[in-house]
Amino acid sequence: MLIGSTLMQNEPFREPVTVYLKHEDGVLRPTRICTTQEAYKALTSGDPIPIGEPEWHVALRAIVKALLDPKAENIEASRRALQRLANLTATPAAAPRRTIH
């Protein structure tokens, strides 16, 4: 992935994070995020992007840091931030699911 003149590395997470994303057909589905680029795409491709949500900003910052500086601790920090965001958007089975964006 290239943003500006900076090459962003794609690194795998030690374990995937399951998030709920609205797919092209408009259906909300669980989606496994396995890499830093998948995480970046999941956070930035939604409509609307929740720029008012602090948890979203924390996750995006951690993921971009891992893309730019793919040290093991940055990759794990980005996975944990995405997992925290996913946990906040998960709801009990009786309630409707929320997406990460």
Q: What is the pLDDT of residues 29-50, one digit of tens each?
A: 899 999 999 999 999 987 667 7
* This model's pTM is above 0.85: no
Phi, psi of 23 (to 5 degrees): -85, 175
Name the β-bridge partners of 33.
Answer: 17
Instruction: Show Cβ contacts of residue 87 under 8 Å, excluding neighbours closer than 6 positions.
Output: none
pLDDT value for 45: 85
Average pLDDT over residues 45-71: 88
The overall average pLDDT reported for the chain is: 83
The torsion of the CA quartet 23, 66, 18, 90, rounded to 10 degrees, works out to -90
